[in-house]
Structure 1
Amino acid sequence: MTDKNDELASHQDEARRELHGQVALITGGTSGIGLEAARLFIREGATVIISGRSAERGAKALAHLPDGPGSVRFIAADLADLDSVRVLAEQAGPVDILVNNASAFPVASTVEQSITGFQQMFDTNVRGTYFLTASLAPAMLGQGRGSIINVSTMAASMGVPGASGYSATKAALNSFTRTWAAEFSPSGVRVNSIAPGPTITEGVLVEWGDGVAELGKNLPLGRTAQPVEIAEVILFLASPRSSYVTGATLAVDGGATAI
């Protein structure tokens, strides 16, 4: 009897997890904010797919993610390549949650911005995100539910030196969010953005170095964010707790856009 009671309690606990039975795709899921979001989604019972360009980084990420209660797998994909985007959508299959987190952000002032870096940002952040969403949205619309979360930035709504091209791509994501919410929400699919402030991730440190810490010191909260702090807001938007939120861009920026 004890074993049966334990099994029943385990099933009940699993069913209470916020993302139980949900399939989630997180692009750029092998490090930083995406990896922390995957960790939280697994904790909440989701079947998680993380994608990234490097199979080596994908294997490393899988090794550092928990075994359950949800599950996780990796699909290699480069969002700057439309053939790769198509294959990612095919291999992922129908999803309930899409987190558009993959991003390219070579830092440069406007007068020093290379054409190659500019093109990479728009191909990855805008075009790849757009057509991946266009490929996966029909299944969500068909089932009458889903959540799409676009990871933007505070720089999309304020001037940050060195981020001209990057901020423009993220402003495009905020625009997508509003339009997709208008198009998809009548069928039960919610679309939202989050706009993080300076966050300590491996990629950000490579591009910005000590500059990211300096940005944090000038915020009302006086510090940079940890990736998990941003991931918690992604989880909120993916979960039933945000059931009446769509078309919004949530600032997660330590107060940057409030001053």
Structure 2
Amino acid sequence: MTQQFAGKSALVTGGGSGIGRASALALAAEGALVTVAGRTAETLKETVRLVEAAGGSARYVVADMTDESQVKEAVQAAVADLGHLDLALNNAGYDGEYQLTTDYSTAMLDHMIALNVRGVFLSMKYELRHMVAQGSGAIVNMSSGAALVGVPGFSGYTATKAAEVAMTKSSALEAAPHGIRINAVCPGLVDTPMIATLDADQRKALSDAHPLGRIARPEEIADAVVWLASDKSSFVTGIALPVDGGYSVP
């Protein structure tokens, strides 16, 4: 069977665990040469090992996605071998801790803005430069179901994830004339290390809020990423796709 991403290159930021790792595995399984980027070499190496063990191709680059020069270098690394960048998943993010707005840590908010907003913006900035030049490409930004509804105790997080949706829509309109599609995925609660900071009561409350009665597996979010990156969604751009078990249904 022909792999739909054979001969294509992909960049996955935040590729060392969770949704990023699952997406890297899924893209590689479809034939993409995947570059995973993030701050921790050990977890990135493990993602590469898993991809290669499954028969795929991957490499890693250590990069802080809040640092413009490092973002630029990560994108260049993804372009290097094949000379083009076809797919990108901007997944690196930070959800912080449960804190009411009255007690919200300014330092935590600043870090969220730096990674969730600035990091995604910078990633698109350099990804799009290559994609516009080649006249093709697909970008997926990992937002959150929290961008679509209110979540008490996470006002800063919801704000940054809503900003990602807004950036996705604006950039999609800019990129469309160049044959480039940009979309966002908005997961509900996913079984990843990022939710480890939640206590049992918080996790249960969020899980119970999903009409399907459970939280998602990272692979279920990766399936949405693959679809939005593929030609099967060739007439889809500028959307924020909920993959949340019904959490955001009014």
TM-score, normalised relative to structure 2: 0.93
Partner of 1:23: 9
What corresponds to 1:38 in structure 2?
Answer: 24
Q: Secondary structure at the match of 1:148?
A: strand
- Contact 1:53–1:77 (Cα < 8 Å) also in 2: yes
Pairing partner for 2:116 from 120, 125, 131 = 125
CA distance in 1, matches of 2:218, 2:199: 16
Q: 1:232 to 1:182 in 2, by over 3 A?
A: same
Q: Which has the higher helix share?
A: 1
Q: Given the alignment, which residue of 132, 137, 140 partners 2:131?
A: 140
CA contact (8 A) 1:26 1:34 kept: yes
Stretch of structure 1 that moved more, 209-218 or 152-161: 209-218
The answer (yes or no) to whether the contact 1:198–1:216 under 8 Å persists in 2 is yes
Indicate if the aligned counterparts of 1:26 and 1:49 stay in contact, CA closer than 8 A: yes
Aligned to 1:104: 94
Contact 2:117 2:163 in 1 (8 A): yes
**Quick one: distance in 1 between partners of 2:29 and 2:90?**
20
Shift, 1:135, TM fit: 1.1
Report if aligned partners of 1:251, 1:257 keep a CA contact under 8 Å in 2. Answer: yes
For 1:86 and 1:244, how far apart are their aligned partners in 2? 29
Whether the 8 Å contact between 1:180 and 1:191 is mirrored in structure 2 is yes
Give the CA deviation at 1:137. Answer: 0.5
2:189 is matched with 198
Cα displacement (A) at 1:67: 3.8
Deviation of 1:68 after TM superposition, in Å, equals 5.3
- The match for 1:80 is 66
- Percent of aligned positions that are identical: 38
Whole-Å separation in 2 of the counterparts to 1:231 and 1:224: 14
Does the 8 Å CA contact 2:190/2:218 hold for their aligned counterparts?
yes
Question: Following the alignment from structure 1 to structure 2, what is the Cα–Cα distance between the partners of residues 59 and 144?
Answer: 32
Does residue 235 of the first structure (1) align with residue 226 of the second (2)?
A: yes
Where does residue 71 of structure 1 map in the other structure?
Answer: 57
Q: CA deviation at 1:161?
A: 1.4
Find the residue that maps to 2:4 and give its secondary structure. coil
User: Paired residue for 1:95?
Assistant: 85
Deviations 1:127-165 (A, max 9, x none): 121112111212111222110001111111111112111
Query: Closer, same or farther in 2 for the Cα pair 1:83/1:17, shift >3 Å?
Result: same
> Per-residue deviation at 1:169?
0.7
Aligned equivalent of 1:245? 236
Counterpart for residue 224 of structure 1: 215
Contact kept, 8 Å, 1:27 with 1:52, in 2: the verdict is yes
Corresponding residue number in structure 2 for 1:7: none
How many residue pairs were aligned?
A: 244
Gaps of 5+ in 1: 1-12
| TM-score, normalised with respect to structure 1 | 0.90
Residue 4 of structure 1 is matched in structure 2 by: none
The Cα of 1:90 is off from its aligned counterpart by 2.8
Residue segments in structure 2 that go unaligned for 5+ positions in a row: none
The 8 Å contact of residues 63 and 71 in structure 2, kept in 1 or not, is answered as yes
Amino acid at match of 2:227: F
**Counterparts of 2:43 and 2:104 in 1: how far apart (Å)?**
28
1:164 corresponds, among 155, 158, 163, to 155
One-letter code of the match for 1:104? Y
What CA distance in whole angstroms lies between the structure 2 residues aligned with 1:209 and 1:138? 42
Amino acid corresponding to residue 209 of structure 1 in structure 2: D
SS in 2 for 1:212: helix
